[in-house]
Structure 1
Amino acid sequence: MLGPVSRFAALAAALLTATPVSALDFPTNDSDALSSIVKQISNGVVEFDVEDYYGPGPGLFRDPYTWTESATAWDSLVGYWYLTGDTTHNAAVQTALVGQLGPALDYLPPNQSLHMSNWRQSSWALAALSAAERGLPVESESENVTSWKDLARDAFDTQVPRWDDTTCGGGLRTDIFMFGDEYNSKDSLSQSTFFLLAARLARFTGNQTYVDLAARAYDWMREVKLIDDDFAVYYNASTTQNCSQVDDTQWSQAAAAIAYGSAVLANITSSTEWADRTTSHVEHILNHFFPSNVLTEPACKDASTDYYCWGEAHAAEASTLRWLALVPVFQPSTYDSIHAALAATAKAAADACTATDGGASASCKGLWSVSDDDDDDDDEQFEDDDPRTDVPRNATIGLGQQVVALEALQAAGFILSSADGVNASFVLRTANGTTATTTTTLSSNGDASTSTGSASGASGTQTGAAAAGGLLRAASSAWGSLVVAGLVGFATAVLV
């Protein structure tokens, strides 16, 4: 078995000397072919992990990839299992979600203290909640972990007391500790991931308290203009100025977190206000980040923000696509516009991926919207080992680039064909192991009740489409056979 240095060298050599090959073909009407491509890209994700290198602990990808990129990758692989039914990566996912917990089981490991922020902690909590919603089993060797939901809840519970009314009238500081570089910042990503975590916990547990906390976060963002009247979500504000001035840079991840959380809240509360907010946020996201129907980050065109447009920014875009794809589940009226954007983005992502290892894997480049394949330097594949190099952004491959391509293709498997609707096999569990056919009734004691029938899904077992072999392989190869015929009542017919 190769040691870590040898394995790194072998991977780098393969990436830098590989003979150019054709892009992956994006299937337009073949779910089996799409499932095969998704498998290739998922294999490319785990190739960036080194199983026999335990220095940073299980679940943390090797340098230069960050703790947050790692969380996003594992979250994507939870989705991969659920969509395809392929359990190949499950053991690694289970080990990772437990391995980075830290001694208090709240995703605050001491080795990440120097750069720990609220949004970084939330990235792991949201991955754990994805595992709970999709019924990923907890590995039997985990003596202290019996529920993915508990891990998400416990991480969230550490953030609630950090709500800081002493400056700016509320909000979470970006960094948790005073020695952090961004301790004096209150940023939209920390607020939006707190908001999304609260909304999803509200749905999962039925606890009204989470709804109230989500609403407080949203209202505060509006008050300080981190969300403006046009539903743009801006980057941050400084506590040293009492948040009187806002950095109006926009990033898609925070915007998508707000849209997804709003859709969840609209569904579980039957609130027209949340429904209207969802529609408005989606419209702004599509106008600003999908100008030609392909996901792009306009802020990356600004030289002053270029450093943030490398690997970790790509991983952030993976979250954007994952969350945006789920909005129509809770608010079906958004389907048509989101479908067009995700379909075009999936095609662009496939065009930036090439098969490797005899077709068993695939490597993917970033910034799909400008890739031109004209045999210039920007068409070569360089591994994204140093985000400060002058290698063109679309010429790099790396963990973030690989994960966003995976999410782009998985979104294509979820929001299917030109028929109106999303994959009818898709269900998300709640704490009582059911997916109800009516809106969940929320209560302050943490119990969720429903008024009509439900589809059972035992806690801690494989549930939904994954148990039946995966959404992408649950029916015939024609995508149209996998979608519902219409949107009327879909959100309440499938899940709440």
Structure 2
Amino acid sequence: MAIARLLCAFCAFFPLYADAALNVDLSSRASIKSAAKLIAQNLMSYYHGDEPGQTPGILPGPPPAGDYYWWEGGALWGTMIDYWSSTSDDTYNPRTIQSLIFQSNTPSDNYMPPNWTASLGNDDQGFWGMSALLAAELKFQNPPRTAPQWLTLAQGVFNTQAHRWDTTYCGGGLRWQIPLSNNGYNYKNSISNAIFFNMAARLARYTGNSTYAEWAARSWDWTAQKEHGGVGYIDERWNIFDGAHVETNCTDVNRAQFSYTAAIFLQGAGFMWDFSGKNLPVGGKLEVNGRPIERKEGDWGAQALWETRLLALANRTMGIFFPGGIMTEVSCELPDRVQCTTDMLSFKGYVHRFLAQTAQIAPPVRDIIMPVLRTSARGMAKSCTAQGVCGFRWNTGKYDGHTGAGQQMNALGALIGLLVDKGGNLPVTNSTGGTSRGDAGAGGNPSDQAIGELAELGDKDRAGAAILTGVVLLSWLVVLGWMVSGINEGPKWVDEKALLFDKESQTSGKRPVETIMGNMKSVSFDTSGTRSADIRRPMSIV
């Protein structure tokens, strides 16, 4: 590891060292795995949490102690789980297990460790939860029986966030920050709600419990187009904007766009497509509100709806964030300069990984996604040295000397995406080989939630009807009992009204898909109104 660190430092100061690009044949699984191993070694050279006196699970930071915030540690371990699954290299598994357990906040099991709660966002917590859920889906080595299990940790995160669903302002949604005192508490952003949607969709598929699917549908509908009753973070052209403030009833939408938000929504939609198809087959009869229904060939059933959303969002995402077929963080990676924060420097890897899994689990979008990911990976390879040290820009055809853990995760994510497409492991469920034990009541006591107001959910939020009081303790006990009661139920589906924006607006037999490749205008950020701890996230302007 010391040698790898020296190589990274040497390349940063002596770009001539990088004349030779990464030696990888992107058509060969063996060659991709070999290159991934080299890049993973350099990535893990940034991690010191297993050294004496250091904190397990986190990258060096937060500033001024180091460049990285707590959430990026969670993203790192998700990357390493995907790396293990794609390559069978278990070198880093002990560190991954130690890290995900150490930061889990046992016994609450909700990734709200006391050292970080003062600056905790729903998106921060959610990244750790998504990594734990990935471990369950890919049958990653289970922790010791005395430790919290992967599925339990994911459910703990989901439960705490479901408890924070706030209908008092903007009709629903999660706030960005969790503590009331934080600058950003009054901002409801798309990334927090994307992660909540994503986890709900994936938990639905893994457990077979449609309660999670109902939460996913509610979350999507809240985020969606205004003409369909949402706040308009997703517009009619399938752009996904950053967020808005509760003081304006979420009408002052910040139109900045970030790649990982789109990818997380897209992945969740892919899981909903898969779940709805398996749980509402053509000709199958299921109960909705106690009423038997039957889906017939050619109708606008649930899977057709999610396929429409998938196709539209996939086309738009590839058009915005892959100009010329190469991944670009358009909000901060400008033609003449890079003005990305440390957080933003890591988004490309998540996008490649999440989109590849979307293509794997939802074949209707595979031909939209994978050709572009392959082109983008070729650009990535040219941005790396022969020693596997990678820069940030992938569209220049050369190494730019801009290195870091995020850049290494980006490169590794691009290679992982190709391996997923070349026979990667399909995410399992608890009925197709999943072994992780869950706890539908995980998450801890209400006092752990650090929320402000919790409004009642109205009748239109049928799936949340059990939460009928603003008294926090009673609300928490009811929602946990409700989740536990449904965990072993057989397949069922939700009322179509919870899924469709407006049934009359759907055109029978046609999918409203548009392919738009227009250029985005650059976005600048004013962080003058933020406290210093929030400058890490200019993607959420507060």
CA deviations over 1:87-108 (Å, ceiling 9, x no partner): 1111011111111112422100
Residue 251 of structure 2 is aligned to residue 251 of structure 1: no
Distance in structure 2 (CA, Å) of the matches to 1:123 and 1:196: 11
- Alignment map for 1:212-361 (pairs within 5 Å): 212-222=214-224, 223-270=230-277, 271-301=303-333, 307=339, 309-356=340-387
What's the secondary structure of 2:176's corresponding residue? coil
Assess, with a 3 A threshold, how the Cα gap between structure 1 residues 207 and 296 changes in structure 2: closer, same or farther.
Answer: same
Distance in structure 1 (CA, Å) of the matches to 2:324 and 2:431: 42
Please state how far the C-alpha of 1:124 moved relative to its aligned partner: 0.3
What's the secondary structure of 1:434's corresponding residue? coil
Alignment check: 8 A CA contact 1:188 1:235 kept: yes
Assess, with a 3 A threshold, how the Cα gap between structure 1 residues 16 and 320 changes in structure 2: closer, same or farther.
Answer: same
Distance in structure 2 (CA, Å) of the matches to 1:411 and 1:7: 24
Instruction: Report the AA paired with residue 363 of structure 1.
Output: V
Assess, with a 3 A threshold, how the Cα gap between structure 1 residues 10 and 295 changes in structure 2: closer, same or farther.
Answer: closer
Distance in structure 2 (CA, Å) of the matches to 1:301 and 1:136: 35
Counting aligned pairs with the same residue, the percent is: 30
Please state how far the C-alpha of 1:31 moved relative to its aligned partner: 1.5
Residue 413 of structure 2 is aligned to residue 415 of structure 1: no
What's the secondary structure of 2:486's corresponding residue? coil
Residue 119 of structure 2 is aligned to residue 93 of structure 1: no
What's the secondary structure of 2:256's corresponding residue? strand
Residue 488 of structure 2 is aligned to residue 447 of structure 1: yes
What's the secondary structure of 1:111's corresponding residue? coil
Assess, with a 3 A threshold, how the Cα gap between structure 1 residues 306 and 294 changes in structure 2: closer, same or farther.
Answer: closer
1:105 to 91, 109, 128: 109
Given the two structures, how large is their TM-score scaled by the length of structure 2?
0.70
Larger displacement relative to structure 2 (28-37 or 170-179) = 28-37
Distance in structure 1 (CA, Å) of the matches to 2:21 and 2:341: 21
Distance in structure 1 (CA, Å) of the matches to 2:210 and 2:7: 52
Assess, with a 3 A threshold, how the Cα gap between structure 1 residues 448 and 36 changes in structure 2: closer, same or farther.
Answer: farther
Instruction: Report the AA paired with residue 68 of structure 2.
Output: Y
- Alignment map for 1:446-465 (pairs within 5 Å): 446-447=487-488
Distance in structure 2 (CA, Å) of the matches to 1:49 and 1:86: 18
Instruction: Report the AA paired with residue 447 of structure 1.
Output: N
Please state how far the C-alpha of 1:244 moved relative to its aligned partner: 1.2
Alignment check: 8 A CA contact 1:72 1:318 kept: no
Alignment check: 8 A CA contact 2:190 2:243 kept: yes
Assess, with a 3 A threshold, how the Cα gap between structure 1 residues 199 and 68 changes in structure 2: closer, same or farther.
Answer: same
Larger displacement relative to structure 2 (228-237 or 61-70) = 61-70
1:39 to 11, 27, 37: 37
Aligned to 1:162: 164
Instruction: Report the AA paired with residue 261 of structure 1.
Output: G
Please provide the CA RMSD for this pair: 2.6
Alignment check: 8 A CA contact 2:49 2:58 kept: no
Structure with higher helix content: 1
Distance in structure 2 (CA, Å) of the matches to 1:54 and 1:448: 47
Instruction: Report the AA paired with residue 43 of structure 2.
Output: V
Instruction: Report the AA paired with residue 216 of structure 2.
Output: A
Distance in structure 2 (CA, Å) of the matches to 1:56 and 1:120: 21
Structure 1 unaligned runs (5+)? 357-361, 374-378, 382-395, 417-422, 436-442, 451-496
Structure 2 unaligned runs (5+)? 61-65, 225-229, 278-302, 435-483, 492-542
CA deviations over 1:200-254 (Å, ceiling 9, x no partner): 0000111111001011111111111001111111001011211112011111111
Distance in structure 2 (CA, Å) of the matches to 1:302 and 1:185: 26
Assess, with a 3 A threshold, how the Cα gap between structure 1 residues 401 and 310 changes in structure 2: closer, same or farther.
Answer: farther
Alignment check: 8 A CA contact 1:311 1:399 kept: no
Aligned to 2:452: none
Distance in structure 1 (CA, Å) of the matches to 2:306 and 2:384: 38
CA deviations over 1:357-387 (Å, ceiling 9, x no partner): xxxxx211112113546xxxxx4x3xxxxxx
Instruction: Report the AA paired with residue 94 of structure 2.
Output: A
Distance in structure 2 (CA, Å) of the matches to 1:302 and 1:10: 28
How many residues get paired?
Answer: 405
Distance in structure 2 (CA, Å) of the matches to 1:306 and 1:23: 21
Aligned to 1:144: 147
What's the secondary structure of 1:234's corresponding residue? coil
Aligned to 2:126: 122
Instruction: Report the AA paired with residue 344 of structure 1.
Output: T
Please state how far the C-alpha of 1:330 moved relative to its aligned partner: 2.6
Assess, with a 3 A threshold, how the Cα gap between structure 1 residues 372 and 316 changes in structure 2: closer, same or farther.
Answer: closer
Assess, with a 3 A threshold, how the Cα gap between structure 1 residues 231 and 292 changes in structure 2: closer, same or farther.
Answer: same
Distance in structure 2 (CA, Å) of the matches to 1:300 and 1:335: 28
Please state how far the C-alpha of 1:306 moved relative to its aligned partner: 6.1
What's the secondary structure of 1:172's corresponding residue? coil
Please state how far the C-alpha of 1:157 moved relative to its aligned partner: 0.6
CA deviations over 1:256-291 (Å, ceiling 9, x no partner): 111111111111112211111111110110111112
Residue 82 of structure 2 is aligned to residue 82 of structure 1: no
Assess, with a 3 A threshold, how the Cα gap between structure 1 residues 306 and 29 changes in structure 2: closer, same or farther.
Answer: closer
Distance in structure 1 (CA, Å) of the matches to 2:383 and 2:114: 37
Please state how far the C-alpha of 1:321 moved relative to its aligned partner: 1.2
CA deviations over 1:12-59 (Å, ceiling 9, x no partner): 467435761311123133211111001111111111011454656201
Please state how far the C-alpha of 1:178 moved relative to its aligned partner: 1.2
Assess, with a 3 A threshold, how the Cα gap between structure 1 residues 364 and 10 changes in structure 2: closer, same or farther.
Answer: closer
